[in-house]
């Protein structure tokens, strides 16, 4: 997705947005040994100039969906096959699509689409034949999303401030549950909880119980960072600059450094994604 200020300009004034900053996606192997986490040398999977961002793994871990803007200046969704080490384009539209996420049934992927008039709403594209479908027609401008189950989504909705909203596909409605939040939204693996970044004071990662709408602090975020990911064993990963950190809620007092990737040319890390097995990490870094 566009940088937040550009996206906000699109949402509020439908004005032309500046080109997103160039970025690349890297893949790393994760090895867990007790409290320790080790990572392999990062492998860059995007070897062209431009914006490559927002990776998310397919449930089987065999592929990665991501957003790419190439020579045609169009934001579309691509699928990277981990075994073949090749990318295939999934969308070719007049609109722009961002934040691809496989739906809970595995038969489609959802995106935030910037429509021709600048409206940002959630859409669903089938992997097979068929037309894209608008979800939550009245909820906008959506910035980011996470599926909690087949009918429920957690949304980052742009505004001043941005709000965290719980949305239901059954009735098409969304309810604000927090304000002044960050873009990184997750369903915590193996639990009924979700998580988000609270930016209303000192930035903290919070755990949300969707039914009661109650939340509690997990850990303070690393200074200047807002993207994080969960491992299936309940640990968190977060980056700051070129360094990758981990945190075990309830066990670690603070963040522990995992690796510094500066020597491999990986700097200004932002988005993070972990596969379901917890043995692969995708991250985005400045080109």
Question: What is the mean predicted confidence (pLDDT) over 132-156?
Answer: 98
* pLDDT above 90: residue 4: no
Which has more confidence, 16 or 124? 124
What are the helix (H) ranges across 79-154? none
User: Which of 16-25, 72-81, 214-223, 261-270 comes out lowest in average pLDDT?
Assistant: 16-25
**Sorting pLDDT into bands at 50, 70 and 90, what band is 8?**
very low
Per-residue tokens: 229: 């990911």
Instruction: List the CATH number of the domain containing 205.
Output: 2.120.10.30
What is the structure's pLDDT at 1?
A: 44
* Three-class SS state of 264: helix
- pLDDT at residue 3 is higher than 60: no
CA 271 and chain centroid, separation: 6
Average pLDDT, integer, range 23-37: 94
User: Tokens 């096959």 label which residue?
Assistant: 81
- In angstroms, the CA 73 to CA 84 distance is 26
User: Percent of the chain scored above 90 by pLDDT?
Assistant: 90
Least confident range of 68-72, 150-154, 282-286: 68-72
Instruction: Please report the pLDDT score of residue 2 as a whole number.
Output: 45
Residue 17 has pLDDT above 70, yes or no: no
Residue in the structure block whose two tokens are 């510094």:
260
The count of structural domains within the chain is 1
Share above pLDDT 70 across residues of the chain, in percent, rounded to a whole number: 93
Tally Cβ neighbours within 10 Å of residue 217: 12
Q: Please report the pLDDT score of residue 18 as a whole number.
A: 58
User: Average pLDDT, stretch 85-108?
Assistant: 97
Domain that holds residue 202: 4-286
Sign for the CA dihedral angle at 170, 143, 285, 84 comes to positive
Q: What is the pLDDT of residue 6?
A: 40
Element (H, E) at 7: helix 4-13
Looking at residue 149, what is its pLDDT? 97
Query: Which backbone phi and psi does 4 adopt, to 5 degrees?
Result: -55, -40
């Amino acid at each position: 997705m566009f940088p937040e200020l550009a996206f906000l300009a699109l949402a509020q004034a439908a004005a032309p947005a500046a080109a997103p900053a160039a970025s690349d996606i890297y893949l790393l192997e994760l090895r867990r040994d007790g409290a320790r986490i080790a990572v392999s040398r990062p492998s860059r999977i995007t070897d062209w100039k431009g914006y490559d961002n927002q990776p998310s793994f397919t449930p089987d871990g065999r592929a990665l969906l991501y957003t790419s803007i190439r020579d045609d200046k169009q934001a579309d969704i691509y699928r990277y096959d981990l075994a073949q080490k090749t990318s295939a384009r999934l969308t070719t539209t007049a609109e722009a699509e961002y934040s691809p996420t496989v739906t809970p049934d595995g038969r489609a992927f959802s995106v935030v689409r910037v429509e021709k008039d600048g409206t940002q709403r959630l859409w669903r594209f089938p992997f097979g034949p068929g037309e894209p479908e608008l979800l939550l027609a009245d909820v906008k401008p959506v910035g980011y999303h996470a599926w909690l189950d087949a009918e429920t989504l957690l949304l980052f909705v742009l505004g001043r401030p941005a709000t965290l909203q719980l949305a239901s596909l059954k009735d098409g409605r969304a309810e604000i549950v927090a304000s002044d939040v960050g873009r990184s939204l997750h369903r915590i693996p193996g639990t009924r909880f979700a998580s988000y970044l609270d930016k209303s004071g000192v930035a903290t990662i919070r755990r949300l119980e969707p039914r009661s709408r109650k939340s509690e602090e997990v850990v303070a975020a690393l200074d200047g960072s807002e993207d994080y990911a969960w491992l299936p064993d309940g640990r968190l990963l977060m980056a700051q600059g070129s360094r990758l950190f981990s945190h075990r809620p309830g066990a670690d007092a603070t963040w522990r450094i995992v690796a510094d990737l500066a020597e491999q040319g990986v700097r200004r890390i932002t988005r993070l994604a972990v596969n379901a097995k917890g043995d692969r990490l995708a991250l985005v870094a400045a080109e």
